[in-house]
Amino acid sequence: DIVMTQSPDSLAVSLGERATINCKSSQSVWSSSSNENYLAWFQHKPGHPPKLLIYWASTRESGVPDRFDGSGSGTDFTLTISSLQAEDVAVYYCQQYYSAPLTFGGGTKVEIK
């Protein structure tokens, strides 16, 4: 199974400041045949279902604000929130969908400082 490791576990950022979340996979999730990284990012707020933010490591889902940016390739990925807003308080998860079983990172809790 591919193990996904996120860091940090939590972070507190001032409104309008940048938040950076890291995700590392135990093996590459890049496919040479498709030239894509099979990596997604989700936002999860209490009492709500998870919401897809980013897929293929850097493609923003429709309707997701452009302050959310995904980057990275192979085994190392980053989700950046360029200017944190109050509504961004949530737990963020990376997930690989390169091979079954699909696996999530442990989550990163983002709060307002």
Partner 1 sequence: EVRLVESGGGLVQAGGSLRLSCVASGFTFNSYWMNWVRQAPGKGLEWVANVKEDGSGKNYVGSVKGRFTVSIDNAKTSMYLQINSLRAEDTAVYYCAAGSGWISGYWGQGTLVTVSS
Footprint on this chain of partner 1 (rule: CB under 8 A): 1, 38, 40, 42, 44, 48-52, 55, 61, 91, 93, 95, 97, 100-107
Q: Give Cα 67 distance to the centre of its chain.
A: 13
Residue number, 32 or 34, with CB nearest to partner 1: 34
Give the nearest distance from C-beta 14 to partner 1 in angstroms: 26
Give the nearest distance from C-beta 16 to partner 1 in angstroms: 28
The DSSP letter of residue 87 is G
What SS3 class is residue 24? strand
Residue number, 55 or 77, with CB nearest to partner 1: 55
Residues in Cβ contact with 98 at an 8 Å cutoff, skipping those fewer than 6 apart: 2, 28, 29, 31, 38, 39
Give the nearest distance from C-beta 54 to partner 1 in angstroms: 10
Question: How far is 13 from 35, CA to CA, in rounded Å?
Answer: 34
Give the nearest distance from C-beta 105 to partner 1 in angstroms: 8
